[in-house]
Amino acid sequence: MKAYRLLTEEDTSAFCHKVTEALSKGWELYGNPSYAYDAATGKMRCAQAVVKETEGTYSPDMKLGAL
């Protein structure tokens, strides 16, 4: 099964740490990162899709971050 996650965070080092943690757990970058202004908070936000090939069958109850 191929799992997919979209990681998002404000444009701080926390976003880089979130992506780095996913990579260290075997997730791979998927596509280009995105960067957008969040008018509600007045801050920039980052997003990066990641994928991971894993054992098992998909279920909506899966905790993708735990894979």
- Per-residue model confidence as pLDDT tens digits over 5-57: 999 999 999 999 999 999 999 999 999 999 999 999 999 999 999 999 999 99
Q: Is 22 exposed, middle or buried (0-12, 13-18, 19+ CB in 10 A)?
A: buried
| First-residue to last-residue Cα distance in the chain | 11
Alpha helices in the chain (DSSP H): 13-24
Residue 65's pLDDT is 87
- 60, two tokens: 């909506």
Kindly report, residue by residue over 51-60, the tens digit of the pLDDT.
999 999 999 9
Model-level pTM greater than 0.95?
Answer: no
Distance of CA 22 to the CA centre of its chain: 7
